[in-house]
Amino acid sequence: MKSKKVQIKDSLPCLHRFPSEKIPTTKEILRNLSQTHPEILEAAQIEEEDWIPLLRATVERMRGETSASGADKKRFIHAVLDHCLRRGDIVKWDFIGTGGRQDYRVDLLDGTTVAIEAKGCPDGNNTTIWDRPSWADEFVVWSLCPESLAKPPGEGAWAGISTRLMPKIVAERKVVDSFIFFDARCGTSRRECPKAFGVTGDLRAEATDFEGQEGKEDWVPPPCIYLFPRSNPSIPHNQQPPLHTLNTSRFPRVLLNAFNVPEVEHEAYVHSAEVGARGSAKGTQIQVSVTSRCWPDGEERTKTAAWKPLKRET
């Protein structure tokens, strides 16, 4: 397949069907509501001078409530793992999270133990809050971002990988084997998926209240999976660590099988995220490169960042 340098949004082969260009207009409508429609505030007994502080406080509370509630995200992951279990692709899975964290242990048929750290949108601070369990043979970060529509999915995935995950991986010398972007919005009218395979039937209703995209109302597409480096980069002997394959990182293959992707298509259904390291007079520098696949034209898209200093060296 060909590979070409592209924009950040092409880090994933899907786009949001959402009028994000109207966000500034919407913001102005709300900001100026006390002048344009004072009758609305009067009916609610809100003083004009209180409107902007109340608006800000309300937005912050709504954001907090959305972030704090992981019920919908948990429902989605549970439905997907139950689907894998029913098919016989895994031996068992357990929710082992504590407090606000959503952690899972999945036992594969070959005895591999997989730890899954469930996160929100990839470009958020939460993407840096994780620790690889000592018992895990394989460690996966799974990002769920169903309600954030302002940016293209690829832009969020790129930010999460290049500015959140990879710097932490290199600085703390820890390994993330794969990164998954997959949630209830995938394969819906707001985030149509171009992939050819997937699951139809009861899974979508079990996983979410969102209906599938037009013509595929009960369809759930395969997840977007990024294979990460097998080891941490170091200078001078491992400056460009080799990437995982579907043989060395086993959970991605389980998911591809569970979503009916034929074996011959597996390689074309995973993305990759590489990181390089080099020394400089001011310390270590890293460079991140992401290659996305599954595009309808059959071409890969590769986005490579400039070399940047590692600010969190340990």
Q: Is residue 9 part of a domain?
A: no
* Inside any domain, residue 62: no
pTM of the model: 0.88
15 belongs to a structural domain = no
> Do the domain assignments include residue 63?
no
- Pairing status of strand 3-5 against strand 300-304: parallel
Residue 23, in any domain of the structure: no
Q: Is 211 exposed, middle or buried (0-12, 13-18, 19+ CB in 10 A)?
A: middle
What whole-number distance in Å separates Cα of residue 110 and Cα of residue 250? 9
| Domain-located, residue 88 | yes
Given a cut of 50, whether residue 282 has pLDDT beyond it is: yes
Tokens 């929710």: give the residue: 95
Q: Report the number of distinct structural domains present in the chain.
A: 1
Cα–Cα distance for residue pair 290/271, rounded to 1 Å: 8
Domain around 191: 71-309
Least confident interval from 103-117, 118-132, 165-179: 118-132
Average pLDDT over residues 137-157: 91
In a domain, 211, yes or no: yes
The answer to whether residue 32 sits within a structural domain is no
Nearest to 203 by CA among 108, 121, 86: 86
> Which contacts (CB < 8 Å, 24+ apart) does range 214-217 have?
214/189, 216/187
